[in-house]
Structure 1
Amino acid sequence: MSMIHQQVSFHTIDAGHEQQRIDNYLIAQLKGIPKSLVYRILRKGEVRVNKKRVKPDYKLKAGDQVRIPPVKLPEQTALPSPKLTQVAALESHILYEDDVLLVLNKPSGLAVHGGSGLQFGLIEGLRALRPQAKQMELVHRLDRETSGCILVAKRRSALRHLHQQLREKSMQKRYLALVRGQWQAHDKVVTAPLQKNTLKSGERVVRVDAEGKPSETRFNIAQRYAEATLVNAFPVTGRTHQIRVHTLHAGHPIAMDPKYGDQQFDQIMQERGLQRLFLHAASLTFQHPQSEKLISIDAPLDNNLQQTLAALTAI
């Protein structure tokens, strides 16, 4: 075990970190530490804000005093080698890059963070590829099974600017999802509130619940097929598994969804060649943090998704 954070430290929050969640603040401060360990020290109350325990979603305020305990982690959680095949391959997935940010077409199956038995995730791989970008952080997240546009900030100032766009809902995200059956044209908006639940097995699932957080996804039809519909999904809020649960709530689960899918539909899609969840972050539109110009990035579908659509009968 190595002591990556050797002693108790106290941080006074400045205006630049105001409104940042405490879990995201800790992940940024304790680079190289798995998310699971960050949540463990939060859960145990070892992290204190103004001498009090806080939940992971606590939003920091200017002047807050944050106590961070010593943290140990195994040696193998160090950054992977940039020459590792999986890390080097990330270079070919970069869609846009400049001095302050990059947008990557994340492959399906790659987690955004390491931890929980994973040697590394997307952000650790990018930090290995860009060691000079010492402040590199994810602006938002994608599920491990979901592919497509993910935005990464290289500077703290850019991260704050982009997070503000997320809070103000001015950043536009468009997803493509292949769903069961014929999506009804009048089903344009789903506003079912969502609640996170943890099963006895430790698996995290999200359900529609009147006590859940307000959630909204807008939809339109991209293409109809004999057995399915390709829909554009525009999440207005950014809840965990939001599009996957909202499509299920509308009666149209996404193809090959291991948590919220339909086995019979999945079997049909497998026969058409589909090997993964058909959910893809197809485009991202945002204001550049420096130039303030509107940037719009499109991420192409991978070969498996393209081949699956080609095997379906359009109507």
Structure 2
Amino acid sequence: MKPTSPQVIFVTITAENEQQRIDNFLRTQLKGVPKSMIYRILRKGEVRVNKKRVKPEYKLVCGDQIRIPPVRVAETTEPAVSAKLNKVANLEHAILFEDDYILVLNKPSGIAVHGGSGLSFGVIEGLRALRPDARFLELVHRIDRETSGVLLIAKKRSALRSLHEQLRLKQMQKDYLALVQGNWPSACKVVEAPLFKNMLQSGERIVRVNQDGKPAETRFKVEERFDFATLVKASPVTGRTHQIRVHTQYTGHPIAFDDRYGEKEFDQKLISTGLNRLFLHAAQVQFTHPKTQEKMTVAAPLDKTLQQCLNQLRLQKQQE
């Protein structure tokens, strides 16, 4: 392992990188450098924009002159994530749509969207291993590790900006399917409850309904009723951490197999159906294609575990 020869780099920002946060820009420029080091060189003023210090949240402007300090990174002969790993290779089969601008994935449950916090890799690292020639691959949004379903990835900076703008203006609709405890009331079509995020000493995030929190709104529609559970469609208007999971818990109808906000007794009733994971699935997303301006709807089918659970519940209902 030889260390690369460190040297100062000067970069001029073009329209392709305009409005990108400086910390995210540095991560694309300094491959393999830990995030902690990137924030350290920003904090110490070693990174300069137009000869001035900037904060990590600074958004780049076309024409900005960036000074990137020498950072010593060990060379490796192989990529950090191998495309031959089963989990990585399986991502290829999970692609629902792809062109030169976007990639839409049916993310499997159990895989984080990005590495970190003890995880060797996530979806984005896996896709970069599968697409080594792709100059740009960035998450448009995030879904929880145990949640499956539609995940948007931008393949160009312009596409990322367009899709982020649609999210900001609430022009993108995301519909989830969740199996919740009990009989969800038909009259409960909207839940508006502010969410406050707490970070525990362990680093775990716990979200609670709290008046000091950020506004959050989720729309609900009953899809199917079972003896002790309801399949609901949940459409978040805002995009807060764990929003659907906390809003369903708040109404007294937590999601099946939710290890943070769920009910053990409810989960026990579902073991016979073969369910062993959070029943929350990003089923569909509607958005405008960033290049063609075509209105697009991409749907992600349920995996075998979720589909089997529903089939068993339907069978139990018919037998009674």
Q: Is the structural similarity TM-score above 0.5?
A: yes
In the other structure, the counterpart of 2:194 is 193
Please give the TM-score of this superposition, normalised by the length of structure 1. 0.86
In the other structure, the counterpart of 1:298 is 299
SS of corresponding position for 1:310: helix
- Alpha-carbon distance in structure 2 between the residues aligned to 1:239 and 1:38: 28
Give the conservation status (yes or no) of the 8 Å contact 2:147–2:279: yes
Per-residue deviation at 1:60?
Answer: 2.3
Larger CA Rg, structure 1 vs 2: 2
Percent identical among aligned pairs is 58
Residues 1:45 and 2:10 are matched in the alignment: no
In the other structure, the counterpart of 1:133 is 134
In the other structure, the counterpart of 2:93 is 92
SS of corresponding position for 1:269: helix
- Alpha-carbon distance in structure 2 between the residues aligned to 1:281 and 1:104: 11
- Alpha-carbon distance in structure 2 between the residues aligned to 1:189 and 1:27: 39
In the other structure, the counterpart of 2:205 is 204
| Residues 36-78 of structure 1: CA deviation (Å, up to 9, x unaligned) | x378649x93477853555xxx462637887766666777894
| Residues 211-252 of structure 1: CA deviation (Å, up to 9, x unaligned) | 111111111111111111111011111111111111111111
**Please, which moves more after superposition, 79-88 or 172-181?**
79-88
- Alpha-carbon distance in structure 2 between the residues aligned to 1:252 and 1:70: 53
Per-residue deviation at 1:15?
Answer: 6.2
Give the conservation status (yes or no) of the 8 Å contact 1:3–1:71: no
- Alpha-carbon distance in structure 2 between the residues aligned to 1:98 and 1:212: 39
Give the conservation status (yes or no) of the 8 Å contact 2:94–2:107: yes
Q: 1:52 to 1:92 in 2, by over 3 A?
A: closer
SS of corresponding position for 1:104: strand
- Alpha-carbon distance in structure 1 between the residues aligned to 2:107 and 2:99: 18
Q: 1:185 to 1:131 in 2, by over 3 A?
A: same
- Report the aligned-residue RMSD: 3.0
Alignment of 1:151-170 (within 5 A): 151-170=152-171
**Please, which moves more after superposition, 76-85 or 193-202?**
76-85
Alignment of 1:257-276 (within 5 A): 257-276=258-277
| Residues 259-306 of structure 1: CA deviation (Å, up to 9, x unaligned) | 111111112122321110000000011111111101111100000000
Any stretches of 5+ residues in structure 1 without a counterpart? none
Q: 1:309 to 1:19 in 2, by over 3 A?
A: same
Per-residue deviation at 1:162?
Answer: 1.0
* Partner amino acid, structure 1, of 2:53: K
Q: 1:2 to 1:151 in 2, by over 3 A?
A: farther
- Alpha-carbon distance in structure 2 between the residues aligned to 1:245 and 1:22: 32
| Residues 171-196 of structure 1: CA deviation (Å, up to 9, x unaligned) | 11000001111111111111111121
Per-residue deviation at 1:32?
Answer: 3.9
Q: 1:2 to 1:181 in 2, by over 3 A?
A: farther
* Partner amino acid, structure 1, of 2:227: A
Q: 1:6 to 1:270 in 2, by over 3 A?
A: farther
Residues 1:62 and 2:61 are matched in the alignment: yes
- Alpha-carbon distance in structure 2 between the residues aligned to 1:314 and 1:30: 56
**Please, which moves more after superposition, 2-11 or 177-186?**
2-11
Please give the TM-score of this superposition, normalised by the length of structure 2. 0.85
Per-residue deviation at 1:203?
Answer: 1.3
- Aligned residue pairs total 310
Q: 1:159 to 1:271 in 2, by over 3 A?
A: same
Q: 1:40 to 1:175 in 2, by over 3 A?
A: same
Any stretches of 5+ residues in structure 2 without a counterpart? none
In the other structure, the counterpart of 1:309 is 310
Give the conservation status (yes or no) of the 8 Å contact 2:4–2:75: no
- Alpha-carbon distance in structure 1 between the residues aligned to 2:117 and 2:5: 20
* Partner amino acid, structure 2, of 1:60: K
SS of corresponding position for 2:43: coil
* Partner amino acid, structure 1, of 2:61: A
